[in-house]
Structures are given as structure tokens and as C-alpha cells.
Amino acid sequence: MNSKIIIFDTTLRDGEQALQASLSVKQKLKIALSLEKAGIDIIEVGFPISSPGDFKSVQTISKNIKNSKICSLARCLNKDIDTAAEAMQLSNSFRIHIFLATSALHMEYKLKRNFNEIIDMAISSVKRALRYTDDVEFSCEDATRTTMDNLCRIVEKLIQSGVKTINIPDTVGYSIPNELSSIIHNLFKRVPNIDKSIISVHCHNDLGMAVGNSIAAIQAGARQIEGTINGIGERAGNTALEEIIMAIKVRKDILGLSTNIKHKEIYRTSQIVSQICNLSIPPNKAIVGKNAFAHSSGIHQDGVLKNRKNYEIIEPSSIGLKEVKLNLTSRSGRAAVKYHMTEMGYNENDYNIDELYKDFLKLADKKGQVFDYDLEALAFIKTQQGIEEYFSLSFFSVQSISNGLSTASVKLLCGGKTFIESATTKNGPIDAVYQALNRIADYPIILQKYQLVAKGKGRDALGQVDILVEYQKRKFHGIGLATDIIESSAQAMVSVLNNIWKINQVNKRLKILKKDK
């Protein structure tokens, strides 16, 4: 049996169905191009009959994708099939993907047809699709709740009619791994012409088993896996392709399988899908979550520094991730503190590790997470707890007109002196506040990330603002929390300004020390 697993991506079809707003043609094309670059074998780019916009998207993508095969979805209706073929006619190579429910539940309550009628509809549609391409895939919708006898019967008929790929979807995420494995085993055992077609699975994650079910299916003989980047999709989502791909790579010793995927493109593709679809990736998400390669425990950090394999089964660079994080929290040990100082260019003779670690623990208990610039301040300006913040927001006022100009006035206390400044901008009240603050501080910073999260519900809910800025090629974080989002935004920026000020003091201190030496 072929050891190559075909990766079928349905981010632009099944994945997009779960989004609050449809993607534009330009956005879909950008995702499709990133999938092609990652080496995806087949990209299901849409359901052309569903809307003129989807038709145009499929048409545009078909014209631009050269290396991956393009696929479109169609019901067992002539108009669907004709439209799918028309939308993809500019493609070098395309597949028509037809689906029809086969379970007793769907036949009785949704389709109002018996199984013989279902077979006739399926065969008729396959013949229609074969007029346009010899690459036809058929999905037996709700296959995992279809009786084994009926499933074997329709699969045999479909293969006889010329279907090259038979998909066995776990449409509602109902199966568990050994159950789906049994279904695939039975198909290979009972369908006499099964070797004439590729068996595929399309698993949903309603019980959190989509990836596990997919692995069980390929162990049983399935050779195509359908899923989405980041696992997005209807309800609880689909099989997360990055997880299945890396499972195949990491556990090749057991699975003995491979894919055509360019693994170093995984992280970049995940980020593109997340940003365009406006769906954040959970921190604990396997493979691509921000905590997937982050370590907070002192024991783990020490083990990773000695040999990454102690606590990492995947090399971050293998998915295209360069930055690996050793989070500095109260759980971190001396090894992590020393590592961060070394990464910043300091050697052990520049600071006292015992004093630094003691001060670090106090700050970590107070602040939660400590950053490299915090360590510098602790190491070279003694204990940070004893230093008052240089910048303090005394007052702010904002005037804003919808679709017009916003003006902000701020009063900022700077080391005991008060400064007042105003700014006017077309980019809203928060940008006006930021411009006014930075006119006073006069730091050439670039805002790289702004994130607002609601804490609590109702009128008294707090808005937490997290920002990330770049200053002199270094990144600085700031957090603000208030019921008023403009106030929390201002607090976050003032926090950043204080962090930058402290580092500037460190640099001055280090220059003095060098002169003394």
C-alpha cells in the first residue's frame, strides 16, 4: 500500500463556513497561495453554486494556482456540477467533489429518499462530473452513522462508476478512533474493487477526536486526510492539518508514512490563516500555539537549555518558527534568568546572579511575567520595586467625531514635572492619545500589536489592552486595565514608556561603569 498521504485542505470551503463574515476574493487568493507554497496536494477552494462571490473566488484561484490541484464542492445536482466545472475551467488540473448523505437519519428526515434512490442519484451525478474531469471525489455524508452494509454497497457502486477518491466523513464528529478504524478495515475487507480508489476521511472535532480519528483511519488504510489549517470549521472545527502532518512526521517510526508538505511553511501558513480569518490561535494549541514551544517551569527550562529534546519532541525550526520562548515567571529558575542575560550580551561578571535572581522572584510575584528589559533594570539599577515610575498619567481628554477627526489632550507627570500636550488624527481617539503621549516622551516607537480583551461582563466589565511596540530594534510590552478602553489603552502606552525609560537608565549606567573601568 502507498505510504504517501495526500493532504486535502478545505480551509477555504469548510473552514470559511464557520467565519462570521465571508472572505474577499483577494483574501482567499492569499490563503490559497500560502497553501500552495506549503505543498498542499489538493485545495478545496469553495462551493461555486452557493453565491456569485464564491464562484468568482474559485475562478480567480483556479487561474493563479499552478502546483496544487484545485477542487470544488457540488451537491448531486446537475447545476451544481456544471457550475463547479465552469468555475475551475482555467485551472491546469481540477477535481469535482460531490457529496450526498447516506445515513438512515439523513435519508429519512433530510432527503426523504430510500437507499436505492440515493445510489441512483450518486451514480447519475458521478457520470455528469466525469464529462468534465476524470478526477471525481465522492463523499458519503454522515458515513460514520451509515450501516456498514449500505456503506460497502454504495462505495462499490461508486468505484465501478469511475470515482477515484471515496471520502468517509465523520460529519458530526461522532466517532471514536477504534470505531472509525473498524469502518475503514471493513471497507477494505468487504468491497472487492476497493483497490481501484483512494479512501479519504474528513473528521470533525465535536468530541475533540478529529486528529485521533484521522490517525486511526490512515493506520487502517486511508490515504487521504481532509482538514483545515488551525482546525477551523463548522461547530468545533475540523482535523487540524498542522497536527496530522507533524504527527506523521514525528511518529514515522510507527506510522511509516510521509506527505509532500514543506514543513517549514507550517507556522507561516497558520499565521496567515489566523490573521485573514480574524481567528486567534489558542495559546495551548498544538504545533502553532504561542505556548507550544514555551517553557515556564524552572525544571523544564533547565532541561531544555541542556538539551531541547528533554522536553521538546519537535524542533521549532522544523515548522519555520525561529523564536523559542523561555517565559520568565516566578516558576523560572536561575538557569532561565542567566540564559536571558546571556542572550542580551551580558556575561556572568557583569552582574550578581544571586542578587538578580532574588530581586527577579520578587518582581515576578508582583508582575506575573518578567521581560528581558525588566532583568536589565533589576541587574543594573538595583531592585526595580524601589524605583518609582518615571511617567504617570494625570489626566486625559478626548473628542471624537464619527468618520472625522479625533483630538486628545493629555497631562503626563515626568519625573516630578508636568507636561501637557495635544494631538489630532484621523485614526481615532486612541491613536490621538498615543500621539500626544509620544510628543511628550519623544521616543521613536512603532506600535506593532494592539489587543483588546474584555474582562468580565456587563456595564462593569474591564477592558484589558495589551500592546507591543518596537524601540531601537527591541520589543516592549505594555498592559492597561480599566472600564474605559481609552484609559486602559493610555495606561498600556504609559507602561511601555516607563519600560523604555528604565532601559535608557540602564544604558547610561553601563556607560558610566565602562568609563570607571
What domains can you pick out in the chain, each with its CATH number? 6-277 (3.20.20.70), 298-386 (no CATH), 391-515 (3.30.160.270)
The pLDDT of residue 144 is 97
- Opening angle at CA 196, ends 162 and 164, nearest 5: 45
The two counts, helices (H) then strands (E), for the chain are 17, 14
Angle at 160 between CA 156 and CA 166, to 5 degrees: 60
DSSP string, 437-452: HHHHH---EEEEEEEE
> Contact 128/80 with Cβ under 8 angstroms?
no
Strands 224-227 and 6-9: parallel
DSSP state of 505: H
CB distance 422 to 436 below 8 Å:
yes
Q: C-alpha grid cell for residue 61?
A: 484561484
Question: pLDDT in tens for each of the 517 residues of the chain?
Answer: 679 999 999 999 999 988 888 899 999 999 999 999 999 999 999 999 999 999 999 999 999 999 999 999 999 999 999 999 999 999 988 999 999 999 999 999 999 999 999 999 999 999 999 999 999 999 999 999 999 999 999 999 999 999 999 999 999 999 999 999 999 999 999 999 999 999 999 999 999 999 999 999 999 999 999 999 999 999 999 999 999 999 999 999 999 999 999 999 999 999 999 999 989 899 899 999 887 776 555 556 656 556 667 767 788 889 998 766 667 777 787 788 887 778 777 777 777 888 888 888 887 787 777 777 777 777 766 544 445 689 999 999 999 887 789 999 999 999 889 999 999 999 999 999 999 999 999 999 999 999 888 776 666 677 888 899 999 988 888 888 888 889 999 999 998 999 899 888 877 776 665 565 5
Q: Which three cell numbers stand for residue 308?
A: 531541547
- Report residue 301: phi and psi, to 5°: -60, -45
Q: Which H/E stretch holds residue 86?
A: helix 78-87
| Contact of 344 with 372, CB cutoff 8 Å | yes
Q: Which amino acid is located at 366 in the chain?
A: K
pLDDT of residue 303: 60
pLDDT of residue 385: 44
Between the CA atoms of 144, 150, 151 and 155, what dihedral angle is there, to the nearest 10 degrees? Answer: -160
Spatial CB neighbours of 307, under 8 Å, sequence gap ≥ 6: none
- The pLDDT assigned to 3 comes to 92
Of the candidates 414, 416, 411, the one whose C-alpha atom is nearest the C-alpha of residue 395 is: 411
Spatial CA neighbour of 214 closest among 204, 203, 230: 203
Phi, psi values for residue 75, rounded to 5°: -80, 175
pTM here? 0.78
The pLDDT, as a whole number, for residue 379 is 74
3-state secondary structure of 271: helix
Give the three-class secondary structure for 394.
strand
CB atoms inside a 10 Å sphere around CB 156: 19
* Cβ contacts of 229 within 8 Å, gap of 6 or more: 9, 11, 15, 35, 240, 241, 242, 269, 270, 273
